[in-house]
Structure formats: C-alpha cells, structure tokens
Amino acid sequence: MVDLVKTILFIAYWYGFAVGVSNFEVDPLTGAASATRRTTIYAAVHNTSLITLLIWFCLGNNSLISELATARYLHEYFFLLMTAVRISAVLLSLVTRWYQRCRFIRIWNQILALVRDRPQVVRGRWYRRSIILKFVFCVLSDSLHAISDVSAQRKRITADLIAKLSLLATVTTIFNMIVCQYYLAMVHVIGLYQILLQDLRCLVREAECACCIRNRRGGVYSIQCCSLADQLDLIAERHYTLKDRLNEMSELFQIQSLSMSLVYFFSTMGSIYFSVCSILYSSTGFGSTYWGLLLIVLSTVSFYMDSWLSVNIGFHIRDQQDELVRVLSDRTLFSRELDSRLEAAFDNFQLQLASNRNEFYVMGLFKMERSRLIAMLSSVIGYTMVLVQWEIQNNGS
C-alpha cells in the first residue's frame, strides 16, 4: 500500500529540485544530503535563468517599472508593490541558500540522525496530519491563485502577458517551496519534542511510584532512583542537542523568516484588497457570477489556511517547551522527597530549561510570538480598511 506521507515528501523534494530551490541532493535510500555536481549545475543554471528573466521583467519593455510609470489607480500601485516584495524575497532566499549551502546540508543530516534514533516520530498522528494539511492547502493556494490571475486578465490575454503570469507563478511557487522546506524541518523537530515529552512523562510517573516506597534503606529504592536519574540525564542531553539544532535552524532561516513576514503581511492585505477590487471593477468579471465569487472565497480561505499553518508551526516549539516545564513541575506534588541524586537531576534539567528558553528574533528586529502576530493582524486589518475605503470612495466618484 502506498504511504501518502512518503509520497508527499517525495513530490515535495523533486518539485523543489525542479524549481531550483534545492541546490543539494538527497540519497533516496539513506536520506543523507550532499552537494553533487549535477545538482549544483542544474540549480545554478535554473537560478541564473530565473534572475535574468526577473531582471527583464523589471527593466524591459512593458516591465514592472513601465507599469509603475503608467499606473493610475491605487490598487495598481499596491499590486506592483506586492510583486516587488515577493520577487525581492525570493531572490534574497535563493542567494542565502547558495552561500549557506554547507550549513543547510549539515543541519539536514543532523536532524535526519535525530529522527533515525527515534523512528516513531514519522509514525505519529500529528506528524502525518501536519504534512497532509500543509500539502493540501499549499496546492490549493497555488492553484487557485494562478487561476485567479488568469481569470482576472482573460479579456486581454497576450503572449507577453502569459509569459509574465507564468514567471510570477514560478516566483510564487519558489517562495512557497522555501516555506514548505522550513515547515517540514520544524515538523520533524516538533515530532522529536513530542517523543521527548512522552519519555519525560513516563519517567515522572515512575518517580512518583518510587516516591511511594516506604522502605528506603534497601537497595531496591536506591537502584531505582539511580536508574531514573540516569534516564533523566539522558533526556536532558537529548533536549540540549535538540535545542542546539533548533537554534542553528533559527539562525539559518533568518532571511527566509524576514521574507515570510513581509510577504505574508502584504499578501494578506492584497488578498482582501483584490477580492474587493474584483467585485468593484466589472473588467475582472468576478463579481458578476457566483463562480467568480466562489473562486474568490476559496482562494482567500486556502491562502489564509496555508499561511496560518506556516506561521503557527513556530509557536508549537514554544508550546512544547512550556509543556516540558509543566511536566517537570509535577515533581513538586510528590508526597515525599526523592533520592538526592534524582532530585539533583530534576533540578539540573529545570535549570537547563529556564536558561535556554526558545526566543526567536527575525533579523534582530522583532521577536516572534503570538501577541506580536495579533498586533500584525490588527495592522493588516487597519491598513486594508484604509485601502478599501479609498478604493470605494474613488470608485464611487
């Protein structure tokens, strides 16, 4: 029987390779990543060709700059700004992947080694559900976005316009593949955290049972506590290794995180603004049919769901660490004290968690947290209302 998750990962890898995002090769048997000649040549030719086409798109005849000079409406300026932000984000991310390729390969192999030690990660329900949901909404978002672009311009389709739309669709796909690779890496890290939590819960339950032993002078109690202390030290070591990999990933994906923040900020505004403009202006034909309105709704919902999955995955890491602290705090509810060595192991692990909190900053500009996300959403809603109000006012006049 075909494994759906393995099929999705297989498609994601080869699709990322085809669009020039992956500049290293992964062995299909071992999963180990390495830089090979054919992968390097293909990715270099693809990226060079893409950059050349983007320069032509920005500077050639009927280019982005010429459209900026002839734009008359607010929505035209805004969509040109969105296009420029998305192109800049893709170019920055691709350049980053070249000069940090060795680090990308190393972190890939390090996470692979951790997953091999805990193969139950890939069998977890949360792991499989997360990958399937991301695949579904990513495909829907890309497909509906492309259909919306073509439908909006269907009354003035030309060969030059088709080439531009294809280039923009390629840029969007590359950006989404970069986000997908970040998402998949984070899913594996969270899966490892979940296994760590399961092991810690089992150990705390065993420690609670040991706490209930009345005869503590015998060797059974001491041996059991020493065994639990050794297990807890191993769990703390696993957590330290996993936290070290997470810190390296956070540093490695700084440019991509900044690009994601900018693109999602403007794209969220643009999706709402585009929906309003599609209904206001009869040239798109969207607002005149139920199919057009359905396309707008499906495209917007799929984009928001895809964006939410990509952004929310980072907050799951903090949730896992908070859960680790909470499980360790259950030790304070034990009826009696434990062996001194086991107590010291618990104290050391708690100190490690307190001194290594997961704080992720985007290029040192701002810290990613849920309160910050809510503030960004509030800003998006406020700016979008201003744009829509301006559009309605000028459209009515």
Report pTM: 0.84
Rounded CA-CA distance 99/80 in Å is: 29
Q: How far is the CA of 359 from the CAs of 143, 194, 221, 354, 386, in angstroms?
A: 35, 19, 39, 12, 33
* Residues with Cβ within 8 Å of residue 339, at least 6 apart in sequence: 221, 222, 225, 226, 229
pLDDT of residue 279: 65
Rounded CA-CA distance 289/260 in Å is: 33
The pLDDT confidence band at residue 26, using thresholds 50, 70 and 90, is: confident
Rounded CA-CA distance 252/201 in Å is: 32
The CA radius of gyration of the chain, in Å to the nearest whole number, is: 26
The pLDDT confidence band at residue 285, using thresholds 50, 70 and 90, is: very low
Token pair recorded at residue 18: 């085809």
If you average pLDDT over residues 174-194, what whole number do you get? 87
Element (H, E) at 127: helix 125-152
The pLDDT confidence band at residue 369, using thresholds 50, 70 and 90, is: low
pLDDT of residue 304: 80
If you average pLDDT over residues 363-368, what whole number do you get? 58
If you average pLDDT over residues 203-211, what whole number do you get? 81
Mean pLDDT across the chain: 79
Grouping H, G, I as helix, E, B as strand and the rest as coil, residue 271 is helix
Q: What are phi and psi of 40, to 5 degrees?
A: -65, -45
Are the C-beta atoms of residues 93 and 259 closer than 8 Å to each other? yes
Q: What total of structural domains would you count in the chain? A: 1
DSSP 273-303: HHHHHHHH-TTT-STTSHHHHHHHHHHHHHH
Among 31-35, 283-287, 341-345, the least confident range: 283-287
User: What residues make up the domain containing 214?
Assistant: 4-396
To 10 degrees, what angle do helices 74-99 and 254-280 make?
A: 160
